[in-house]
Structure 1
Amino acid sequence: MEKIVVVGANHAGTACINTILDNYKDKEVVVFDANNNISFLGCGMALWIGKQIAGAEGLFYSNKEILTGKGAKIYMETKVDCIDYDNKKICATDKDGNKIEETYDKVILATGSLPITPRIEGMELENVQFVKLYQNAAEVIEKLKDDSIKHVTVVGAGYIGVELAEAFKRNGREITMIDCADTCLSGYYDRDFTEMMTENLKQNGVQVVFNEMVSKIVGNGKVEAIVTDKNEYKTDMVVLCIGFRPNNELGKDSLELFRNGAYIVNKRQETSIKDVYAIGDCATVYDNSIKDTNYIALATNAVRSGVVAAHNACGTDIQSIGVQGSNGISIWGLNMVSTGLTLEKAKANGYDAITTEFEDLQKPAFIEHKNEKVKLRIVYDKNTRVILGAQMASREDISMGIHMFSLAIQEGVTIDKLKLLDIFFLPHFNQPYNYITMAALTAK
């Protein structure tokens, strides 16, 4: 019986393991994971910290018992020390120090990503926190039972930083959010959208600090202040959210790497070594918006990559159709979604990019109850007219609209194709000449 070893059992790994177990009964599946839990939904940590959900129980969708019940052999709390790719052998150590060896026919790396740790003074102080794993969130929540922690500083204004700023504020703390960039969410939105979110944070009591670089954290045993290149801020806890890096420890000396250290894979999730696959945050993706290899760490991408790798490792030829980096965020009722490239990113990737945009009420003006404005921006190539990206913001739930733009980028649809697109109308939902139609019709 062919043996497939999966190293890592979070989103990508779990999707991969389930796909093999559910579809290929002739395969032996062995799993290694260094953690003591499986399938934790990290996207729910901010909701947990912010007391918007009752607890962490619903943030797990699988466990060791479920997977072993399907026939997998699971090593939990077991760290893989090395992989001998030439002899197809894995060496690991469990929590009791026991050495384990497993051979494989094929191996799938799902080692995920690790928080970027800044090299600054004061990192060893109590109440300097990362929020990545279940244990990290649980530790933070336990510490927040201490009423002396009145102020929390979040370092980083990406998705996780913004979500945690809201979460800690909802938890009753005073919040400062610091970033060296000049705006928040800059990787996903153009400036007029990011300014909407910045103003939203300010209106809800978050102190927003941009264009400042953290230089050190100070305190006597515990955090007392955080120092930037321009100012000092008194605080009781520092939460670092400055990004993640691919966890490539097991293959960095053997496999071909992307510029950020991720394993380079093809559309079958195959690495540069035969019978070795990589999935999730440790691997690259094919980005349809730039028509090239890229790194986009999202849980949705991880799950899809796990499914693709599982089928290919088991002999079924399936290729990824690529991704657009579709994403979304909701902070104090302001909903923002995007896909593909911002205008700035499109130009940086060599496109002669321009935009068309439109802002209007979601429903006809005579609908007076719960009828909010929607802002839409579409980025497209001036010469080919092909859609490259889209951004939407509203206090309405407009999230489903971004799926159409994701498909448009995937399929190379032009902005002109949207002008007479058959979009239904009903006053309960939208306008007859809605913002999508109008943005397309007014495109240059």
Structure 2
Amino acid sequence: MSKTKVVIIGASHGGHQSILELLKRYDDVDIKLFEAGDFVSFMSCGMELYLEDKVTDVNDVRNFSPDDFAKNENVEILNNHVVTKINTDKKTVTVVDSKSNTDQDYPYDKLILSSGVTPKSLPVPGADLENVFLMRGYDWATSIKAKLEDASVKNITVIGAGYIGIEAAEASRKAGKNVTLIDVIDRPLGTYLDSEMTDILAKELEEKGVKVVTSAKITEYVGTDKVTAVKTTDAEYPSDLVIQAAGVKANTDYLKGTVDLDDRGWIKTDEYLQTNVPDVYAVGDATLAYSIPANNHVPLALATVARREARYVVEHLFEKQPSVPFGGVVGSSALSVFDYHFAQSGLNSFTAGRSNVKINSSFYVGQLRPAYIPTGKENPQVCVQLFFAPSSHVLLGGAVLSKYDVTAQANVLALAIQHKLTVEDLAEADFFFQPGFDRQWSILNVAAQHALGEKDF
């Protein structure tokens, strides 16, 4: 009896999870995974740790190696293989082997797209100069590392003050470089956090020696062969190295005219994560994910999203009509900015506005532990921001920030948002108390009580 042929495109989180789920659930599958790159499943989210010498080895910063499945006769991992076309009439994919420059058609019964995204290079003069880098993938990681260890590289300019740009700036500063961080919007991390928290983090960046330039339009990368400066409409910044972290685009050009995409190239799916093409499913960064708090499909380039989507797709892969739709995701993430740590979940003012969701917000600052413990390292200050629906008080988002690591508190917020709890529910939620860890009412209890207009305990 022939095995069911499942083809997976892309070896990052969604592709990896798809393999794991297929092997766990089914015995009669023939799995082929095609990866365009040479190095399979490099975890770009671990790049800063590598740049700061906090990993065992750069070759370990990956989800999996092809060797992990070498003994499994049901799995074949083909790197340096670029899928260029889906032939829906024949149920095949056309794949180019980039080493031999030959192409071949491979049949599928089920096709899972986990195409991922590519970092954007700014369309300005000089973008092709030497030492203008991107911040994603194995090759760029090792190239950046070499520059951080090069004493002749003194001035580094980072373009984009989102998560990746902040990581690049911090790693560069810790390597002893002069760092300028430039963004077109008015504050760093402005799409992730509201101003109450970004004001704190912008000050932290400046105090740690990062020059923060906001509301800036870059007009040119200056240089003859190598980059020497970054020019904006207002100033010019000396640059021996430019690291671009200015957003991403979906790897979906090969799908145009076959799979439905929105006007920016993101893959559209239905409530079962199926595309418009029969037996073709899509997960991960290149898709529009269903956001529970936004009640809308939005780009959410997160490993957690890709893995949950892949788990759902494989579980229902052979059902003619899936028994339940995909439940959606909240969208949570965390980051350290030098001495500060923050985590956020669900919506904020920016993302709520993007989805036309009306929200109320509350910002609370308090101590983690009882007042009889002196303020400082043993009783740190914590900031909590909550976002909720104006009438129902259903929680739609939240964030925590402190020099103490309270990021796990965002997992509580994520669960509350996923299950549509209210501010009142959070205000009365039964958490543990032990003065070595927290207060009689935990920091999230008190933050919710503050949102309801109650006095601090």
Query: Which TM-score applies when normalising by structure 2?
Result: 0.93
Structure 1 contact 358–435 (Cα < 8 Å) conserved: no
Q: CA deviation at 1:318?
A: 5.8
In structure 2, distance between residues paired with 1:255 and 1:300:
24
In structure 2, distance between residues paired with 1:126 and 1:350:
42
In structure 2, distance between residues paired with 1:257 and 1:196:
38
Helix, strand or coil: the match of 1:154?
A: strand
AA partner of residue 218 (structure 2): V
Counting only pairs closer than 5 Å after superposition, residues 22-421 of structure 1 correspond to structure 2 as 22-70=24-72, 71-94=74-97, 95-315=99-319, 317=323, 319-347=325-353, 349-368=355-374, 369-421=377-429
Superposed CA RMSD in Å reads 1.7
**Residue aligning to 1:439:** 447
More displaced 10-residue stretch of structure 1: 50-59 or 291-300: 50-59
Structure 2 contact 427–445 (Cα < 8 Å) conserved: yes
In structure 1, distance between residues paired with 2:174 and 2:441:
38
Distance 1:99 1:185, change over 3 A: same
Match of 1:425 among 433, 452, 455: 433
More displaced 10-residue stretch of structure 1: 351-360 or 128-137: 351-360
AA partner of residue 296 (structure 1): L
Helix, strand or coil: the match of 2:41?
A: coil
Q: CA deviation at 1:300?
A: 1.1
Helix, strand or coil: the match of 2:428?
A: coil
| 1:193-227 alpha-carbon deviations (Å, 9 max, x no partner) | 11111111111100100011111001121111110
In structure 1, distance between residues paired with 2:194 and 2:149:
38
More displaced 10-residue stretch of structure 1: 254-263 or 296-305: 254-263
Which 5+ residue runs of structure 2 have no aligned equivalent?
A: none
Distance 1:257 1:16, change over 3 A: same
In structure 2, distance between residues paired with 1:200 and 1:53:
25
Helix, strand or coil: the match of 2:316?
A: helix
| 1:216-250 alpha-carbon deviations (Å, 9 max, x no partner) | 00112111111001110111000110000111122
In structure 2, distance between residues paired with 1:122 and 1:319:
47
More displaced 10-residue stretch of structure 1: 419-428 or 147-156: 419-428
AA partner of residue 396 (structure 1): Y
Q: CA deviation at 1:179?
A: 0.5
More displaced 10-residue stretch of structure 1: 208-217 or 433-442: 433-442
In structure 2, distance between residues paired with 1:44 and 1:301:
17
Q: CA deviation at 1:76?
A: 1.5
In structure 2, distance between residues paired with 1:112 and 1:328:
20
In structure 2, distance between residues paired with 1:294 and 1:81:
26
The number of residue pairs the alignment matches comes to 444
| 1:397-430 alpha-carbon deviations (Å, 9 max, x no partner) | 1111111211222222111122221121101110
* 1:4 equivalent in alignment to 2:12: no
In structure 2, distance between residues paired with 1:267 and 1:68:
34
In structure 1, distance between residues paired with 2:260 and 2:96:
26
Structure 2 contact 219–232 (Cα < 8 Å) conserved: yes
In structure 2, distance between residues paired with 1:46 and 1:397:
18
In structure 1, distance between residues paired with 2:246 and 2:162:
8
More displaced 10-residue stretch of structure 1: 249-258 or 210-219: 249-258
Structure 1 contact 289–341 (Cα < 8 Å) conserved: yes
In structure 2, distance between residues paired with 1:166 and 1:177:
10
AA partner of residue 280 (structure 1): G
Distance 1:436 1:301, change over 3 A: same
Percent identity between the two aligned chains: 29
In structure 2, distance between residues paired with 1:167 and 1:318:
44
| 1:16-35 alpha-carbon deviations (Å, 9 max, x no partner) | 11211232111111111111
Structure 1 contact 31–73 (Cα < 8 Å) conserved: yes
Structure 1 contact 20–314 (Cα < 8 Å) conserved: no
Q: CA deviation at 1:39?
A: 2.1
Q: CA deviation at 1:12?
A: 0.8
Distance 1:351 1:317, change over 3 A: closer
Helix, strand or coil: the match of 2:257?
A: coil
More displaced 10-residue stretch of structure 1: 280-289 or 68-77: 68-77
**Residue aligning to 1:19:** 21
Q: CA deviation at 1:353?
A: 2.0
Helix, strand or coil: the match of 1:18?
A: helix
Q: CA deviation at 1:171?
A: 1.4
Q: CA deviation at 1:313?
A: 2.3
Helix, strand or coil: the match of 2:227?
A: coil
In structure 2, distance between residues paired with 1:122 and 1:56:
30
Q: CA deviation at 1:142?
A: 2.2
Q: CA deviation at 1:177?
A: 0.3
